[in-house]
Structure 1
């Protein structure tokens, strides 16, 4: 990382955003009380766009950001209204055609783009962000990107959502899987501020219709449908057409209904050359980082609000890296941040002269800037050369950890990160902080079960050529299997690990060749919440219209 220019991660690992995928996104109806609404379809002229293979736009719409996955549907529908979505879903059901839905296109697996899909609904035209006075909440179209949301909420009302760092991620997948980002230790998960969803569903008779399900819906089935969209993942229950956001308990003017965006943030980039990293130093860094977040985990405190990503890039990339963000309004922010940064250098055994910028101590390996929040948010989403690159291929696996990383796992990480088998230089393991406000919510209050985890772990590789698939997928599989070898090659929920993240979907979890534990893939994602998700599936999608390789199964 070229620290002195405060630019990017060099050839290191791309940031990974909290994304989702599959069949969740889209439409509109009006029912502030949460009642069922049937969208008018009969006789209504479609306002959307239909793209078929003969259209010049077709090749741009048959894949997402991960170029490993493509499709060849009969058509791609780009709706503008809920009625358009209802009509397209009805067409698929009546014709017996497999359906999938794309919001931002960042699904890591083939849930959206695969050979079985005959109709794909692309939500990108339904991207408006407005304030809905009837619902007294902010309405976000399911095709909006995170940058659409950040800019509209902040510039219009000075508020924001604690969501992901990758600008082009669509809310349709991000929100339905839980959603998190640099403000989550301070304000919680994205779904902790979700108030309602508008969903196109299909009943047992095969009739498509639009419903609105809210946190406070009077009907229990609608409340369950809402709950399923607070972490149940995309692609299992229907097509989400809109989200409404309002923090529980918030009242009054719109400016007070969601978290206030920080006026300014401290944003730190750190980079340590691999040539200076010893095995002991690597272990000490990972141990220190995990211990710090395990210890500083109290919601509402400065340390409990500090957020960090630790990029353990493969040695061939040239460096390890870190990103740290902290709301500058905390009086002790400079000292808390300075201490945290100094601890990482010290753990690595890399001591150097320090300088002070905006009250924060920098070293030879760290650089901190005080920035306006929106500028910093735009910047952090753009500094990696590969993060927004739509031409890469990728493989990802995930884990939640409830404690610091055990030494045996650290040793396995080091072995694979220093291997000589030549994976892509965009390969490595990312640790992202959790805890703080996230942990203040019950593991059953939303569909997100891993509330007391202190970090997520993401094994990631990105590359460009199909010829390199086997090498890079193989590295990820071997590294992941080695780190979790004690529990059947996967992070089985226990006192240390806590399963996987549905927004980083991993098809191998369903394969007994890679998951040799006794824990099924769905329990790695949702743990004790899975049976309730199955009941929601039975109620709202009894024909299993909305499905993919790891969608919620009918009971």
Structure 2
């Protein structure tokens, strides 16, 4: 039997070998990139601008700390060939890629790693942000690095009668938003953002440039709602079908406090909101002892008021609440308030994006009893470090789409989505705020969807589970089901099978990426190289 000194020496040699191999791979990767990408588009850790480029679209400073696992380098492509080169160099030298469009990833996994594994590079798509609108065809090609605000503005400037049904926040990147489904104030009329994707351009794990036909039916299905985190490759651009809006829409916000009877009103809202005419969406933001009922109606105030009196008189909406405007004006008004202009949605760096935050989500399929809402307001929302709850109603168009139409499965039978959020202002704080989110989530378990307890992939939460990577770099499909079926329900298996077709050796991966389901015993290129060398 070998002595402990011999064993220790052997371990030191092996450790040194892996460290040297990792360094050599990283160095060779950077050399490879430098030969294919202009130097002004490549930022290594030693670059003076590395920190500022990394932070340029980080929306949650919780992931900018001295202990954050940051990329080996940042590639800021301006055309498809730069992304292709990053993939080819990465595959050749054992460096994985993470892809960022707008930086709103709730866990920051588009630009950082939650644990130190092998080195990775960041492909930041902010330089790919073109929007090309065809008014005649009612379509647009939009690059993944564009923001929703830039997309909305370009559409409205082409035609005041066209729109796109996506999210409220104008700084959200198109790439991540469409990859996870995407919904906003037009949800009940037109469904998800990703329901309107008709083509896309993808760089796959071999560096090939693929359109809808070339990537195949299963992969095209997968990227439209199941591609969060770039599991299937790097989507460079999307062709989307635009939707019709009237020249005048009406927005209103009505605040109701506990003293105003908000518990009863909110209890009624659960039944009313999903059953309203699909031209009308009334969402709720509950914070402290007040709930704000925020609405967009595709029509005039004169047409809206009879609808509200007939379906939801308890809210007491009157003409004084109505704000008539164009659809584009409603984008800035609903998210930024009455003092904002439509040009403000083009600002890629909003002040509020610098707030630390923690969030998670639920889906509700049966109305929550009144006494539970009473406890939420008198206890949970009244706590000193309480956050807020955002309730988005479904129904309308969503109820008529099969769960398997896209990877996003939360459709028929869903009354509304809940987002739990909390915020803090300074590094080193946040323990109480994070505990509030987690504790309220635990409290809500009996009252929300079950088997599985559903969650929205674009509100990513690592508390729901993480991928397990075992020996040889093999990712466990069974372990991934813990989080995957919450986001995708029965569609998770089909996603994993699609992953095996486009990226069988799992080059594109992170803590919550789709694992390949097929030949599970595939080692990464870098691991195979190590094994061959050791043998």
Task: Give the corresponding residue for 2:108.
Answer: 110
Q: Is 1:391 the counterpart of 2:354 in the alignment?
A: yes
Task: Give the corresponding residue for 1:308.
Answer: 282
Of 441, 446, 458, which aligns to 1:503?
Answer: 458
Q: Rate the CA distance shift 1:323–1:138 in 2: closer, same or farther, 3 A.
A: same
Conservation of the 8 A alpha-carbon contact between 2:264 and 2:370:
no
Q: CA RMSD in A?
A: 3.0
Which runs of structure 2 are paired with 1:515-554 in the superposition (5 Å)? 520-554=482-516
Conservation of the 8 A alpha-carbon contact between 1:132 and 1:138:
yes
Q: Rate the CA distance shift 1:536–1:402 in 2: closer, same or farther, 3 A.
A: same
Q: Is 1:142 the counterpart of 2:144 in the alignment?
A: yes
Q: Deviations over 1:449-468 (max 9, x none)?
A: 11121211000111112332
Of 246, 256, 264, which aligns to 1:284?
Answer: 264
Query: Between Structure 1 and Structure 2, how many residues are aligned?
Result: 451
Q: Rate the CA distance shift 1:132–1:361 in 2: closer, same or farther, 3 A.
A: closer
Task: Give the corresponding residue for 2:211.
Answer: 212
Structure 1 residue runs without a partner (length 5+): 1-40, 247-257, 297-302, 346-353, 355-359, 513-517
Which runs of structure 2 are paired with 1:104-183 in the superposition (5 Å)? 104-115=102-113, 116=116, 118-131=120-133, 137-158=139-160, 159-183=162-186
475-484 or 128-137, which moves further after superposition? 128-137
Task: Give the corresponding residue for 2:329.
Answer: 375
- The normalised TM-score by structure 1 is 0.75
Of 80, 83, 93, which aligns to 2:81?
Answer: 83
Q: Is 1:466 the counterpart of 2:443 in the alignment?
A: no
The 1-side partners of 2:514 and 2:61 are apart by 25
Q: Is 1:332 the counterpart of 2:331 in the alignment?
A: no
The 1-side partners of 2:311 and 2:423 are apart by 30
Q: Is 1:195 the counterpart of 2:198 in the alignment?
A: yes
Q: Deviations over 1:237-278 (max 9, x none)?
A: 1111000113xxxxxxxxxxx21233111110122345x25x
Q: Deviations over 1:290-325 (max 9, x none)?
A: 1102433xxxxxx2221122111134xxx3322111
Task: Give the corresponding residue for 1:423.
Answer: 385
The 2-side partners of 1:178 and 1:511 are apart by 20
1:546 is displaced (CA, Å) by 1.4
331-340 or 66-75, which moves further after superposition? 331-340
Task: Give the corresponding residue for 1:478.
Answer: 439
1:43 is displaced (CA, Å) by 8.4
Structure 2 residue runs without a partner (length 5+): 1-32, 341-348, 468-479, 518-535
The 1-side partners of 2:282 and 2:136 are apart by 38
Q: Rate the CA distance shift 1:401–1:47 in 2: closer, same or farther, 3 A.
A: farther
Q: Rate the CA distance shift 1:295–1:544 in 2: closer, same or farther, 3 A.
A: same
The 1-side partners of 2:381 and 2:433 are apart by 14
Task: Give the corresponding residue for 1:8.
Answer: none
Which runs of structure 2 are paired with 1:314-325 in the superposition (5 Å)? 314-315=288-289, 319-325=290-296
1:139 is displaced (CA, Å) by 0.7
The 1-side partners of 2:45 and 2:309 are apart by 56
Question: Helix, strand or coil for the counterpart of 2:103?
Answer: coil
Q: Deviations over 1:33-91 (max 9, x none)?
A: xxxxxxxx998665971223344432233241011113522221111111111111222
Conservation of the 8 A alpha-carbon contact between 1:233 and 1:503:
no
Task: Give the corresponding residue for 2:44.
Answer: 52
Conservation of the 8 A alpha-carbon contact between 1:104 and 1:143:
yes
Q: Which has the larger radius of gyration?
A: 2
